[in-house]
Amino acid sequence: MIILNKIKFFATMVVFIVFTFSSSKATEECFEETSRAIFKFNMAFDNAVLEPVARGYNKLPDPIKVGTSNFTSNIGTLLSIPNNILQGNFTQLGHSVGSFVINTSVGILGFLNPAEKMGLKPHKEDVGQTLASYGIGAGCYFVLPILGPTTARDSLGMIADSFVDPFAHITIRENELFGKSGSALDYYSLKGTSAIDFRAENVTNFDNLEKNSIDFYSSLKSIYLQDRENKIANSTDNEDDWGNLNN
């Protein structure tokens, strides 16, 4: 009954987003004034908390930073697996499963990345990208507190991610998978570490963009939307210094 209710909920949400937002372009704003106010709050949080932590993180030895990035990316691969299946992309499914198994075992829980040297390069996939693969438009654009830029479709995708992600199931859902389970603290610690790792990699990029932008809000909006388009198209253009802007 619980599973059936969840299916009904997501079906309702998908129908809602298709009929309400599919006609809206991602360049259109849901509520720009509110989004700009939230953006200012996010920038204040970044200046006070995230950027200082990221700069401190950058002072760590490179092996620690690389190992941490590999570890979080390896766990993130778990979300790609169900989305590869839903998208019918079985080539990428092989890359995702193979990469996770090899890096978790041979790569010492993912701190090393031997799978990449073997030619396995899984794309990061999420429910937002899966919905796009079914032809659901991005809908309008807005900014969330702390989480940052998103669209109507991708915000629904973020909620759905927590239901299809195996790591979320054994942490925030506290279910067992192969006899293993965790806690919500494990889940949010990983997400926080991923955010710090991403921010640390892009300290210079953010500084330069902010310094050279007439409208920093619009610049980040453009970069986010282009990044999402590249990832939906599985374009190699997403393998740049900006990485995954919604990590």
Express each pLDDT in 145-188 by its tens digit: 999 999 999 999 999 999 999 999 899 987 776 677 788 999 99
Q: Can you give the pLDDT at residue 12?
A: 58
Q: Are 80 and 122 in contact (CB under 8 A)?
A: yes
Question: Helix (H, G, I), strand (E, B), or coil: what is residue 143?
Answer: strand
Give the long-range contacts of residues 110-117, CB within 8 A, separation 24 or more: 110/70, 110/71, 110/73, 110/74, 110/75, 111/67, 111/68, 111/70, 111/71, 112/67, 112/70, 113/70, 113/73, 113/74
Q: Return the beta strands (E) in 138-177 as ranges.
A: 141-144, 148-151
Q: CA distances (Å), 67 to each of 46, 64, 123, 216, in order?
A: 24, 5, 19, 32
How far apart are alpha carbons 232 and 133 in whole angstroms?
Answer: 7
Per-residue pLDDT in tens (0 to 9) along the chain, 247 residues: 444 455 455 555 555 555 555 555 556 888 899 999 999 999 999 999 999 999 999 999 999 999 999 999 999 999 999 999 999 999 999 999 999 999 999 999 999 999 999 999 999 999 999 999 999 999 999 999 999 999 999 999 999 999 999 999 899 987 776 677 788 999 999 999 999 999 999 999 999 999 999 999 999 999 999 999 999 998 765 554 454 444 4
Biggest CA pair distance of the chain: 54
